[in-house]
Amino acid sequence: MRTIRVAEVLAALSLTTDLATGMDFEKGLRTCVVATALARGWSADPRVVRAVFETALLRSVGCTSYAPELSELFGDDVAFQAYLKRLDVGDEVVFARQLATFGQWAGTASTGLARTFVDVLPTAGVQAMRNGCETSRALGVEFGLLPESVAALDDVYERWDGLGIPDGRAGTEVSAAARIVHVAEQAVLAHAGGGVSAAIDEVSRRSGGHLDPEMAQVFVAGAASLLAALNGPDSIAAVLQAEPEPHVTVPFGSVPRLAESLARVVDLKSRWLLGHSRHVADLAEAAGRVARLEADELALLRSAALLHDIGRVGVPAGIWDRPGGLSLAESEKIRLHTYWTHRILSRVPALAHLAPIASAHHERGDGHGYHRGDNARALPLPARIIGAADMLAALTEPRAHRPAYPLDEAAALLIRDADDGGVDPESARLVIEAMGVRAPRRLLPAGLSEREVQVLRLAARGLQNRQIGTELSISPRTVGHHLAHIYDKTGRRTRAGIALFGMDHGLLP
């Protein structure tokens, strides 16, 4: 039976979170290689090495869970997270210097952002990390990670000196896997700018503050050999070679399930895109059945549809959530998301066959689409179906600048676009025909009521109790009661947590 290594899918997720956190492409892969080698030098326990390997790849898996809120506070969640990776609150001189340049991404609007950061770190910062931790735990279990790896994902912003967040754990209260990854990440960041000597200097400076001094000492003693693997030409190959044995594999038919987990990370990027990737995949798969595609073609179609927007994580959440018009520069950032979708998928052997299909959903019949400007009607049928499904799904979902279109109006707009040289007419017909087949009514998950599902959908988008009450014509107090029941029934405790629950069970959009 044909299998794939789960590490390949985790590598794709690592590349995605590099993009979402403003890091150099493949920074997460390089961190994984160094961290795994460091773990082998520190411990002979294979579970420790496996936990470090998994934690390093998924270190930023929760990075999209608080992106809308970070954009509201700091203007650009991607730039903010890139800055956060390098901040050192434990060194007063360095921290003051870092704060002096904090917010440069905002240009003339940067005044006061450093003060905002200091003011909100104990509140919004902790809440952001709690969202990220809940997201990490849920996705870690889905990917079959070791319990030690899932636990370590709670500690990605904790510090040896106890000045981290969200819980201020210190010393060996911070998991060993996280402490090793902390050292490797700072080494890789410094190495990118100044080589081995810069990595040694930075890890030494942070030793005893941000970093476990024992782990730092092990790194410094073997820095040259630990960093030597970064000189290779292929980071993916280096990660796969570093994976502890036995390698974790799943049947090739599991790709759609794994792709769905990746898609949820992407959809958390925006309050208005929750569940969009699955919506597109459901539409595309249904259209593929109408077209009588074979089972393997349907699996390819669904996987590509789930991952079609994976590159959107690199676009600041404030752009996706903006109710008004966009500048030319912002529009160009949006256009790049299909390039990044292709770039991420093409780098991973197990997913490379999806890249040309998943990244073509904004091509148009008149050649005026993006990212390649191909004639959409010359593309393979699965790519054309995803383009039509993406448009119809978006039209039937609410956005910051408009409510959702009723299905009949959305279908008419899709046909008009096809007639004007946009989406492929055949694929538009298949998607519309598929939408005519309605799924039977099913029981709501976790014992939720219809009203609780309505509240969940709005709370997942970040609306406050008063706003939800206005939307549903109920009091804020009643909203609070509903939310308490939702948290109890779903077992989730954050906005990102209930958003994930909603996507998991097909409640969003």
CB atoms within 10 A of CB 447: 11
Rounded Cα distance between 472 and 466, Å, is: 10
Output the CA torsion 461→260→312→9 (10° steps): 140
| Cβ atoms 278, 153 nearer than 8 A | no
Rounded Cα distance between 387 and 408, Å, is: 19
Q: Is the pLDDT of residue 376 over 60?
A: yes
Q: State the DSSP H helix or E strand holding residue 249, giving kind and residue range, or none if neither.
A: strand 249-251
Mean pLDDT of 405-431: 91
Mean pLDDT of 326-345: 93
Q: What's the confidence (pLDDT) of residue 438?
A: 44
76-85, 99-108, 188-197, 437-446: the lowest-pLDDT one:
437-446
CA atoms within 13 A on the CB side of 458: 21
Q: What's the confidence (pLDDT) of residue 442?
A: 55
- Helix ranges (H only) for 375-494 are 381-395, 407-419, 425-435, 450-460, 465-472, 476-490
| Cβ atoms 275, 503 nearer than 8 A | yes
Which is more confidently placed, 258 or 382? 382
CA 134 distance to own-chain centroid: 13
Rounded Cα distance between 276 and 390, Å, is: 8
Rounded to the nearest integer, the mean pLDDT of the chain is 90
Phi, psi of 206, rounded to the nearest 5 degrees: -85, -10
Mean pLDDT of 132-161: 87
139-143, 391-395, 427-431: the lowest-pLDDT one:
139-143
The structural domains of the chain, ordered by start, are: 3-242 (1.10.3210.10), 253-435 (1.10.3210.10), 445-504 (1.10.10.10)
Phi, psi of 275, rounded to the nearest 5 degrees: 80, 0
48-57, 299-308, 338-347, 413-422: the lowest-pLDDT one:
413-422
Q: Is the pLDDT of residue 403 over 90?
A: yes
CA atoms within 13 A on the CB side of 403: 5
Q: Are strands 3-5 and 249-251 parallel, antiparallel or unpaired?
A: antiparallel
16-20, 132-136, 463-467, 490-494: the lowest-pLDDT one:
132-136
Q: What's the confidence (pLDDT) of residue 437?
A: 41
What percent of the chain clears pLDDT 70, i.e. is strictly above it?
98
Q: Is the pLDDT of residue 30 over 60?
A: yes
What percent of the chain clears pLDDT 90, i.e. is strictly above it?
61
Q: What's the confidence (pLDDT) of residue 200?
A: 97
pLDDT band at 124 (very low <50, low <70, confident <90, very high): confident
Secondary structure (3-state) at 205: helix
pLDDT band at 185 (very low <50, low <70, confident <90, very high): very high
Mean pLDDT of 23-32: 95
Mean pLDDT of 363-384: 86
Q: Is the pLDDT of residue 505 over 90?
A: no
Which is more confidently placed, 137 or 388? 388
pLDDT band at 16 (very low <50, low <70, confident <90, very high): very high
118-122, 206-210, 242-246, 451-455: the lowest-pLDDT one:
118-122
pTM of the predicted model over 0.75: yes
Residue-wise pLDDT tens digits, 155-166: 999 999 999 988
Q: Is the pLDDT of residue 509 over 90?
A: no
